[in-house]
């Protein structure tokens, strides 16, 4: 089988396409013929120079994959031909997170999905909803589940509440779709007028250009009167001040990403204290969360937004495209 390997922190063009034997599933395991993978900003950080101390070399990158069951070991409920999606964490099947449950993240501590075949523990697989293609299904494990955790599981968003999303990357577009499914209003930001037109077609109630409106947080507060219930914070320290301004008293900032850097010393933390806001860290989610997201998408017949699909042979170009920031939603790779 062919797979991509990161043999050291050498950058996108150092990704090596290598040949390996197809593994055989043991008891409780499933051999999946992967037909699709998708990229996340984290994968870019990984290939560019290391992502956390748990990253191993050589490493098959990418946490997200979907495909078809090829063979199963003993004691597995799946059968060959089943369409499945792999979870970001193999051991976090449900419940509260713990260090043990979060140890094995695909494309980080263990090999990921840029591979023609991969063994999964059966407990880490979810059946692909019938209305999704494998490419669409492969966008769920990281960005989709993170957005689900931020908006529903930890954000507790209810109909009529307001969610603010930042930019048009994978997590934010999923957050917009999930918030709309939950009956919430969405204020969505972007740096691009072309992308803003897409945000409106995807259901954003209000859009703000964060480049031409640098005080977008203040604006969001003015528009809502009291502030938003939840900010899906993908920018990090560089956007947090405006997020604090945008958030209502008692509201939540779901802290997810690090796309915008800025000195931490300039943070408006006293304002956050005075407004009794909640800063909620989010780390993807469990297999149960992936299942809940798949169920919700199936119920509402909502499809993930896939910007562009690259052939497996051009996986490095997919990384370069992701790095350009031109995409809206997800960048995917068709395998095989
Ligand atoms: N904690 C977790 O569990 C978790 C899980 C997934 C991802 N993440 C993190 O979440 C972040 C987003 O990941 P992703 O995969 O969705 O990224 P992505 O698809 O690469 O998102 C790129 C988009 O983010 C927007 N953006 C960039 N800088 C921005 C800024 N200063 N303010 C607002 N928007 C900005 C841009 O949108 P426009 O072009 O529209 O301006 C850009 O196109 C990353 O930092 C990633 O590491 C964390």
Indicate if the pLDDT at residue 143 is higher than 80. yes
DSSP-assigned states of every residue in 258-310: -SS---GGG--HHHHHHTT-EEEE-----HHHHHHHHHHHHHHT----EEEEE
| Backbone dihedral angles phi then psi of residue 304, each to the nearest 5 degrees | -60, 155
Compute the CA torsion angle 50, 54, 56, 59 (nearest 10 deg): -70
Determine if ligand 1 sits within 6 Å of the CB of residue 195: yes
Indicate if the pLDDT at residue 214 is higher than 90. yes
User: Would you say 12 and 320 are in contact if contact means Cβ atoms under 8 Å apart?
Assistant: yes
| pLDDT at res. 127 | 98
Indicate if the pLDDT at residue 238 is higher than 70. yes
* Domain boundaries, position 166: 155-281
Q: Please tell me whether residues 270 and 194 are part of one structural domain.
A: yes
The answer to the question of residue 75 being in a domain is: yes
Q: Please tell me whether residues 134 and 7 are part of one structural domain.
A: yes
Q: How much of the chain, in percent, has pLDDT values that exceed 70? A: 98
Per-residue pLDDT, averaged over 169-198, amounts to 98
Q: Look-up: residue for tokens 């010393």?
A: 265
Q: Give the model's confidence band at 52: pLDDT under 50 very low, under 70 low, under 90 confident, else very high.
A: low
Q: What is the CATH number of the domain that holds 160?
A: 3.40.50.720
Quote the tokens at residue 219.
């604006």
Quote the tokens at residue 146.
């993170």
Q: Please tell me whether residues 133 and 25 are part of one structural domain.
A: yes
| pLDDT at res. 266 | 81
Residues 107 and 63: their CA atoms lie apart, in Å, by 5
| pLDDT at res. 99 | 95
The answer to the question of residue 150 being in a domain is: no
Nearest to 142 by CA among 203, 68, 205, 89: 89
Indicate if the pLDDT at residue 50 is higher than 70. no
Per-residue pLDDT, averaged over 204-231, amounts to 98
Q: Look-up: residue for tokens 């299942």?
A: 291
Per-residue pLDDT, averaged over 194-204, amounts to 98
Q: Give the model's confidence band at 267: pLDDT under 50 very low, under 70 low, under 90 confident, else very high.
A: confident
Q: Please tell me whether residues 104 and 57 are part of one structural domain.
A: yes
Per-residue pLDDT, averaged over 157-181, amounts to 98
Q: Please tell me whether residues 304 and 238 are part of one structural domain.
A: no
The residue whose CB lies within 8 Å of the most ligand 1 atoms, and thus the one to mutate among 259, 280, 290, is: 259
Q: Please tell me whether residues 165 and 137 are part of one structural domain.
A: no
Indicate if the pLDDT at residue 261 is higher than 80. no
Task: Give the Å distance between the CA of 167 and the centre of ligand 1.
Answer: 7
Q: Give the model's confidence band at 265: pLDDT under 50 very low, under 70 low, under 90 confident, else very high.
A: confident
| pLDDT at res. 165 | 98
Instruction: List the beta strands (DSSP E) in 81-146.
Output: 83-86, 117-121, 125-127
The answer to the question of residue 147 being in a domain is: no
User: Would you say 332 and 311 are in contact if contact means Cβ atoms under 8 Å apart?
Assistant: no
Determine if ligand 1 sits within 6 Å of the CB of residue 118: no
Determine the Cα angle at 147 with ends 232 and 280, to 5°.
50
| pLDDT at res. 156 | 98
* DSSP 3-state of 200: helix
Task: Give the Å distance between the CA of 70 and the centre of ligand 1.
Answer: 34
Q: Give the model's confidence band at 26: pLDDT under 50 very low, under 70 low, under 90 confident, else very high.
A: very high
Determine if ligand 1 sits within 6 Å of the CB of residue 208: no
Indicate if the pLDDT at residue 57 is higher than 90. no
The answer to the question of residue 124 being in a domain is: yes
Task: Give the Å distance between the CA of 238 and the centre of ligand 1.
Answer: 12
Domain count for the chain: 2
In tens, the pLDDT along 118-128 reads 999 999 999 99
Q: Please tell me whether residues 29 and 99 are part of one structural domain.
A: yes
Task: Give the Å distance between the CA of 23 and the centre of ligand 1.
Answer: 34
Indicate if the pLDDT at residue 264 is higher than 90. no
Determine if ligand 1 sits within 6 Å of the CB of residue 169: yes
Quote the tokens at residue 277.
């806001």
How far apart, in Å, are the Cα atoms of 330 and each of 6, 174, 263, 318? 22, 9, 29, 11
Indicate if the pLDDT at residue 51 is higher than 80. no
| Bond from prior residue into 58 cis (ω within 30 degrees of 0) | yes
Residues 229 and 247: their CA atoms lie apart, in Å, by 6
């Amino acid at each position: 089988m062919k797979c991509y390997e990161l043999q050291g922190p050498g950058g996108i063009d150092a990704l090596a396409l290598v040949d390996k034997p197809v593994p055989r599933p043991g008891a409780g395991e499933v051999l999946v013929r992967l037909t699709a993978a998708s990229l996340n900003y984290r994968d870019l950080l990984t290939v560019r120079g290391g992502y956390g101390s748990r990253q191993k070399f050589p490493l098959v990158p990418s946490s997200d994959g979907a495909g078809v069951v090829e063979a199963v070991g003993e004691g597995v409920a799946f059968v060959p031909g089943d369409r499945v999606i792999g979870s970001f964490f193999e051991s976090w099947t449900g419940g509260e997170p713990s260090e043990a449950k979060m140890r094995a993240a695909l494309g980080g501590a263990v090999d990921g999905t840029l591979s023609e075949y991969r063994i999964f523990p059966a407990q880490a697989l979810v059946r692909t909803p019938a209305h999704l293609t494998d490419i669409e299904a492969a966008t769920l494990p990281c960005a989709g589940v993170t957005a689900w955790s931020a908006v529903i599981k930890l954000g507790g968003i209810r109909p009529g509440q307001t969610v603010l999303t930042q930019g048009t990357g994978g997590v934010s577009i999923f957050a917009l779709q999930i918030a709309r499914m939950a009956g919430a209003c969405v204020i969505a930001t972007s740096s691009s007028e072309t992308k803003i037109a897409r945000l409106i077609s995807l259901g954003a109630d209000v859009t703000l250009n964060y480049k031409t409106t640098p005080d977008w947080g203040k604006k969001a507060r003015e528009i809502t009167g009291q502030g938003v219930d939840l900010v899906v914070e993908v920018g990090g320290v560089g956007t947090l001040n405006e997020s604090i301004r945008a958030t209502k008293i008692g509201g939540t900032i779901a802290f997810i990403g690090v796309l915008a850097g800025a000195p931490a010393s300039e943070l408006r933390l006293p304002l956050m204290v005075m407004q009794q806001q909640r800063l909620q860290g989010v780390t993807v989610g469990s297999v149960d969360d992936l299942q809940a997201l798949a169920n919700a998408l199936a119920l509402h017949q909502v499809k993930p937004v896939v910007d562009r699909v690259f052939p497996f042979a051009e996986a490095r170009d997919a990384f370069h495209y992701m790095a350009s920031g031109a995409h809206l939603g997800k960048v995917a790779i068709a395998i095989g």
